[in-house]
Structure 1
Amino acid sequence: MEVPEVCPRFERAVDILSKRWTTLILHQLLPGPQRFAAIEGSLRNLSGKVLSDRLKELEEEGIVTRTVYPEKPVRIEYSLTDKGAELAPILDQIQHWATRWIQLSPEEDRLPS
């Protein structure tokens, strides 16, 4: 049986999305723009440095946009671009699959999501 070759674009997409925290950050941005502290606060155990790195990477890929509002103090919000928003059905399907098939330990089930 011949093994099909992986499409380079698919491989690149998986490489982008498989970095630790990336899909959780994207899922957090689905409802709309959020400030850095809100994203950081919603994801347990995510350090500010890693969040900053992931947001920069996603911005470079054109998946997330960073908007600076010239206020005092300066307000910065992150949101999905059209490219990023097209991931919504995929993330929704992962959520659906997880709800159906992933079992949590009693300890995990008590933690806030």
Structure 2
Amino acid sequence: MQVIGSKWSYFVIAQLCQGPQRFNQLRRSIGEVSIKSLTDTLRQLEQRGIIHRQVIPTVPVSVRYSLTDSGRGYGEVLLQMRNWGEKWGMSDSQATSL
């Protein structure tokens, strides 16, 4: 559970389960997250081997985030937790706070 210790980790992993995304794509899709919180969350997930950060040498430089094999496995676990919460009457916010 330490991997999803951050408030935003669940949302980042859930978004990346849909495919690789750039920073601003993640920020728009998650919504209320600040730039600092998203940056910190992405760094923590990268350090734990959950996501991969790919620098794309364009002008300006672009960065794309994707799930590693471990991250995809973790995403499956999070999906099961969400499904469990829905089955037993928990809202998404209650299920993500587990």
1:72 aligns with 2:59: yes
Deviations 1:40-88 (A, max 9, x none): 1111210010000010111111111100111112121000111111112
Greater relative CO (CA pairs within 8 A, separation 6+): 2
TM-score (norm 2): 0.83
Following TM superposition, the consecutive aligned residue runs of length 4 or more in structure 1 with deviations greater than 6 angstroms are none
Distance 1:19 1:33 in 2: 20
From 37, 46, 54, the equivalent of 1:59 is 46
User: For residue 96 of structure 2, what is the aligned residue in structure 1?
Assistant: none
Percent of paired sites with the same residue = 35
Q: Which runs of 5+ in 2 are unaligned?
A: 93-98
User: For residue 108 of structure 1, what is the aligned residue in structure 2?
Assistant: none
Distance 1:98 1:75 in 2: 36
Secondary structure at the aligned position of 2:33 is classed as coil
TM-score (norm 1): 0.73
Largest Rg, 1 or 2? 1
Q: Which runs of 5+ in 1 are unaligned?
A: 1-13, 105-113
Amino acid at match of 1:37: N
Cα root mean square deviation, aligned = 1.6
